[in-house]
């Protein structure tokens, strides 16, 4: 099990995004997480390809791009060209999920599948061996700063059990309501990557907070 941190730029100061990315570069974080929202799949709109292209020029860490959009397969090639290294799509937004994961991988990116809080782990059974990443949403997607959903621990454990039994090797990422108080428990439950936005970028010491998240509970 890894211990990786992916700070989410959704919670950064958009007036000085370069500074936020440079802080992540200097930190012990492992990814830069970008949440893409279209106002349809989720009731919010964030940013698109131009921002990803700009971040890619500055970032020294892989770009972990989470698509909260309908018909994400329309844009796979554009996200690759913009600089995405990992591309995660929602099970709930994809009719042909197996094909979509294959297309992402054929473009040279790592392919992830995200589950909303109401979507059962059992829905992964047929495609788990085709995914490089499973993203467990521990809040309802669309907004930052929400309260962590406590049943997510058991969902992570179930996902880990499925990954092990299938021989998948997929990493488990968790996004939503993560702070230094629950980070250690999430890693213990089986999480590999923790996405943290508000906790990181609203902190008075970003580098220290990332360190504390990464080594929580040790």
Q: Which CATH number covers residue 137?
A: 3.20.20.70
Q: Which residues pair with 33 in a beta bridge?
A: 8, 64
pLDDT band at 1; cut points 50, 70, 90 = low
Q: According to the model, what pLDDT value does residue 2 have?
A: 81
Q: Tell me the percentage of the chain whose pLDDT exceeds 70.
A: 98
pLDDT band at 143; cut points 50, 70, 90 = low
CA distances, 4 to each of 52, 130, 158, 173, 184 (Å)? 21, 21, 20, 9, 12
Residue 188 appears among annotated catalytic residues:
no
Contacts of 27 (CB under 8 A, 6+ apart): 5, 7, 206, 207, 210, 211
Q: Which residues pair with 134 in a beta bridge?
A: 113, 172
Check whether 147 has a pLDDT greater than 90.
no
Report the alpha-carbon distance of residue 141 to residue 150 in Å, rounded: 15
Radius of gyration of the chain (CA): 16
31: nearest Cα among 198, 153, 197: 197
> What is the average per-residue pLDDT within 32-55?
92
Residue 35 appears among annotated catalytic residues:
yes
Report the alpha-carbon distance of residue 186 to residue 193 in Å, rounded: 9
pLDDT band at 71; cut points 50, 70, 90 = very high
Report the alpha-carbon distance of residue 11 to residue 22 in Å, rounded: 15
Q: According to the model, what pLDDT value does residue 145 have?
A: 64
Q: According to the model, what pLDDT value does residue 215 have?
A: 97
Q: What's the sign of the alpha-carbon dihedral 128, 110, 96, 139?
A: positive
**Which structural domain, as residue segments, surrounds residue 177?**
4-214
Report the alpha-carbon distance of residue 160 to residue 183 in Å, rounded: 17
> What is the average per-residue pLDDT within 13-20?
94
- Kindly report the average pLDDT of the chain as a whole number: 95
Residue 169: alpha-carbon gap to chain centroid: 17
Q: According to the model, what pLDDT value does residue 23 have?
A: 97
**Structural domain count, the chain:** 1
CA distances, 211 to each of 116, 145, 146 (Å)? 28, 20, 22
3-state secondary structure of 27: coil
Q: According to the model, what pLDDT value does residue 144 have?
A: 64
Which among 30, 35, 64, 132 is annotated as catalytic? Answer: 35
Check whether 216 has a pLDDT greater than 90.
yes
The H-or-E segment that residue 97 falls in is helix 97-106
Which among 38, 64, 132, 175 is annotated as catalytic? Answer: 175
């Amino acid at each position: 099990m890894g211990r990786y941190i992916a700070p989410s730029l959704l919670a950064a100061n958009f007036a000085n995004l370069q500074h936020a990315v440079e802080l992540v570069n200097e930190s012990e974080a492992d990814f830069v997480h970008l949440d893409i929202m279209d106002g349809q799949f989720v009731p919010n709109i964030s940013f698109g390809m131009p921002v990803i292209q700009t971040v890619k020029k500055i970032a020294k860490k892989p770009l972990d791009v989470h698509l909260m959009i309908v018909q994400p397969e329309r844009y796979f090639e554009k996200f690759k060209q913009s600089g995405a290294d990992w591309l995660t799509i929602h099970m709930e937004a994809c009719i042909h999920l197996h094909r979509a994961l294959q297309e992402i991988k054929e473009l040279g990116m790592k392919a992830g599948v995200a589950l909303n809080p109401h979507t059962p782990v059992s829905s992964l059974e047929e495609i788990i061996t085709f995914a490089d990443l499973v993203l467990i949403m521990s809040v309802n997607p669309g907004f930052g700063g929400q309260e962590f959903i406590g049943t997510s621990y058991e969902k992570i454990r179930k996902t880990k059990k499925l990954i092990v039994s299938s021989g998948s090797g997929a990493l488990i990422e968790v996004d939503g309501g993560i702070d230094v108080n629950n980070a250690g428990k999430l890693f213990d439950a089986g999480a590999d990557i923790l996405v943290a936005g508000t906790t990181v970028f609203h902190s008075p010491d970003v580098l220290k907070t990332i360190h504390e998240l990464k080594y929580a509970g040790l």
